[in-house]
Structure 1
Amino acid sequence: MIGDVALVAGAYLLGSIPFGYVIPRLVRGDDIRDQGSGNVGATNVWRAYGWSLGLPVALLDVAKGLVPAALGLWLGGDWVGVLAGAAAMVGHARPVFLGFSKGGKMVATAGGVALALAPLAALSAAAIWIVVFALGRYASLASMLAAAALPLLCIAFGSSWPVVAFTALAAVGVLALHRQNIRRLFAGTEPRFSRGASSS
Structure 2
Amino acid sequence: MTTHYEAQLVPLNAEKIGSAAYGHASFDIDGDTLTIKIDMHGTPANTEHWEHFHGFPDGKQALIATAAQDANGDGFVDLPETEPVSGTTMVPFDDAPEKMDIPHDRYPVADANGDFSYEQKVPLSELSKNFKSSFNDEELQLDKRVIYIHGTDPELTIPDTVQGMVGHFDQHVTLPIATGQIEAID
Q: TM-score, normalised by structure 1?
A: 0.30
In terms of fraction of residues, the more helix-rich structure is: 1
In terms of fraction of residues, the more strand-rich structure is: 2
Q: TM-score, normalised by structure 2?
A: 0.32
Say which structure, 1 or 2, has more relative contact order (CA 8 Å, 6+ apart).
Answer: 2
